[in-house]
Amino acid sequence: MEKKSMLEAFKETKYQTAGHGKREVGVLLEAFKDIDPHEESDMYGNGHFISAFQDKMAGYLGKESAVFFPSGTMAQQIALRLWCDEKGAKRVAYHPLCHLEIHEEDGLKELHGIETILLGDEHRLITYEDVAGMSEGVSCLLLELPQREIGGQLPDYETLEAISEYCRDQGIALHLDGARLFEILPYYQKTAEEICSLFDSVYVSFYKGIGGIAGAILAGSKEFTEKSRVWKRRHGGDLISLYPYIVPADYYFDLRVGKMEQYYREAIELAAMYNACHSVLTLPQVPVSNMFHVHITAPKEKLEPIFLDVYEKTGIGLTGYLKEVNGNRCSYEISIGDAYGDVPKDELRKAFEILDQGIRALNGTAV
């Protein structure tokens, strides 16, 4: 009989520690359960569904106006293009591991001819000193909060305030990649409006911590968002109707935005269990949002059987993959959502006992 892959075994577990559960079409049915089936849909960016949600999110983010986009990739490329056009220089700065740099096939450069400056070091956050030392001619600085690719780390709030003030003094637009903005509010103990007030434009996602199907909001001044609508049309983002994305975004926003404090506290709890295991370290060691990265000092091919053993004996899935960092270290990402609350704590402790014992046996370290 062919051995199951780690992903197959993970999907078959009864309980999973991350996310909101499996991505199934049922999320669409749940979101639409109270919608009048005869209500008229939006068309090409106009109509009740889209306008009401845009106004709602503009108010929540404390911005004058907001536009719904089918993807964050589209929204952010357009935002940076607009700032470059306004400032008169096609040059932007962001972290070396920014989504636009490593996940979008150079879309910003190929579609818009924008030069990018990679600010700071890929292993740490952008600092005020990095920003103050930028070369001249930068139209826009993009900050991602939290910085996903390094475990979801966050700068202290005073640093954000200092960077914001510097950019405004220098005439540099400051854009927030807030794909996970809702998830960081508990750590900063700030409202979304307070954080967004430091930025000239803001993008937020509705399929990550919120758990919708897809879609994003780009918010800023009325003038800025009106220009973004033109580019949205140019990018093919004005689908005839976007309500299949908007209705779930709205429904799950209302359902989950108030749970971010719970997810944050549960992430801290789960990270502590990981850090108690031999040769395991989380980044950050104490999470600052609902997400963190797990690093294990052991080869991937020897770790996978240990995880399969955990899944078989406890029915608890920890991850569906292991990313090989080097020949003797692996990592993966955790984002806490509704699913964690359903995990039986006794079985979870058992899962970590098996994980710890397996890694110790692998590394020849007695308990």
What is the number of domains present in the chain?
Answer: 2
Same domain, yes or no: 125 and 168: yes
pLDDT of residue 365: 67
Q: Residue 37 domain-assigned?
A: no
Query: Which domain CATH number covers 292?
Result: 3.90.1150.10
The verdict on 136 and 194 lying in the same domain is: yes
Dihedral sign computed on CA atoms, order 136, 166, 73, 79 = negative
Report the pLDDT averaged over residues 138-166.
Answer: 98
CA dist 241 and 41 (Å) reads: 7
Q: Are residues 12 and 48 in the same domain?
A: no
Q: What is the pLDDT of residues 251-271, one digit of tens each?
A: 999 999 999 999 999 999 999
Provide the percentage of residues in the chain whose pLDDT is more than 70: 99
Tell me what the mean pLDDT of segment 50-66 comes to. Answer: 98
Q: How far, in Å, are 96, 225, 250, 299 from residue 334 at the CA level?
A: 22, 33, 24, 20
On the question of pLDDT at 238 being above 60, the answer is: yes
- Report d(CA 288, CA 152) in Å as an integer: 7
User: 185 and 272 share a domain?
Assistant: no
- Which pLDDT value is given to residue 244? 95
Over the range 258-291, which residues count as b (16 or more CB within 10 Å of their CB) and which as e?
ebbebbbebbbebbebbeebbbbbbbbeebbbbb
- Round to whole Å and give the CA distance between 206 and 217: 8
Whole-model pTM? Answer: 0.96
State the DSSP code for 39: S
* Local structure of 135: helix, strand or coil: coil
Q: Are residues 228 and 335 in the same domain?
A: no
pLDDT for position 350: 98
- Based on the domain organization, do 225 and 184 belong to the same domain? yes
Residues 263 and 233 in one domain: no
Which structural domain range is residue 337 located in? 6-21+259-363
The model's pLDDT over 117-147, given as tens digits with 9 standing for 90+, comes to: 999 999 999 999 999 999 889 999 999 999 9
pLDDT at 228: 98
| pLDDT greater than 90 at residue 3 | no
CATH code at position 126 = 3.40.640.10
Q: How high does pLDDT run on average in the chain? A: 96
Residues 62 and 166 in one domain: yes
Whether the per-residue pLDDT at 367 is higher than 60: the answer is no
Q: What are phi and psi of 190, to 5 degrees?
A: -125, 160
pLDDT, tens only, 195-216 = 999 999 999 999 999 999 999 9
55 and 201 in a single domain? The answer is: yes
pLDDT score of 304:
96
Whether 2 has a pLDDT exceeding 80, the answer reads no
> What is the model's pLDDT at position 27?
87
CA distance 223 to 220: 8
The answer, yes or no, to whether residue 177 has pLDDT greater than 90, is yes
Give the pLDDT score at 366: 55
Domain annotation covers residue 348: yes
pLDDT at 223: 98
- Together in a domain, 159 and 116: yes
Among 13-22, 55-64, 284-293, 358-367, which is the least confidently predicted range? Answer: 358-367
Tokens of 181: 């903005």
Does 134 reside within a domain? yes
**pLDDT band for position 1 (cuts 50, 70, 90):** very low
Same domain for 68 and 213, yes or no, is yes
